[in-house]
């Protein structure tokens, strides 16, 4: 069966500090991977998606970047955090030719920028 891991679970970082959040998927090959942000318990905003190693698409301009160094690893980064980067970050995966079909989510990372 497939599982998705995210770490850390919670993070408190000062403004201007760097960020690295990691997501890994087990039990599947060549998944589509996604980073979402959920602000204040509201809806989800898609930040990045990837259909393969080194292939990253950005949905919205922002202070964040993403990388996919391995097939089942997706990393969300920032060089300098802003207060507005606080939120709940969710990684998700899907498989199949139809991208976006049946996404499965990780447990999330709660980021507080102080």
Partner 1 sequence: GEDVEQSLFLSVREGDSSVINCTYTDSSSTYLYWYKQEPGAGLQLLTYIFSNMDMKQDQRLTVLLNKKDKHLSLRIADTQTGDSAIYFCAEAETGRRALTFGSGTRLQVQP
For the chain, what is the radius of gyration of the CA atoms?
13
**In the complex, minimum distance from the CB of residue 43 to partner 1, in angstroms, rounded to a whole number:** 4
Q: How many helices (H) and strands (E) does the chain have?
A: 0, 11
Q: Which of 14, 29, 43, 54 binds partner 1 (CB under 8 A)?
A: 43
Q: Measured from the CB of residue 61, what is the shortest distance to partner 1 in angstroms?
A: 16
* Residues 16-35 contacting partner 1, CB under 8 A: 32, 34
**Cα separation of 28 and 71, whole Å?**
10
Q: Would you say 36 and 92 are in contact if contact means Cβ atoms under 8 Å apart?
A: yes
| Residues near partner 1, by CB under 8 A | 6, 32, 34, 41-44, 46, 49, 51, 57, 59, 90, 92, 98-108, 110
């Amino acid at each position: 069966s497939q599982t998705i891991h995210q770490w850390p679970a919670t993070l408190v970082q000062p403004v201007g500090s760097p960020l690295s959040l990691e997501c890994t998927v087990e039990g599947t090959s060549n998944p589509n991977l996604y980073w979402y942000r959920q602000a204040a318990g509201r809806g989800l905003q898609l930040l990045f998606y990837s259909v393969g190693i080194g292939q990253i698409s950005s949905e919205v301009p922002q202070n964040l970047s993403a990388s996919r160094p391995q097939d089942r690893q997706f990393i969300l980064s920032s060089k300098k955090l802003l207060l507005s980067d606080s939120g709940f970050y969710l990684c998700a995966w899907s498989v199949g030719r139809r991208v976006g079909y049946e996404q499965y989510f990780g447990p999330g990372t709660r980021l507080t920028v102080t």
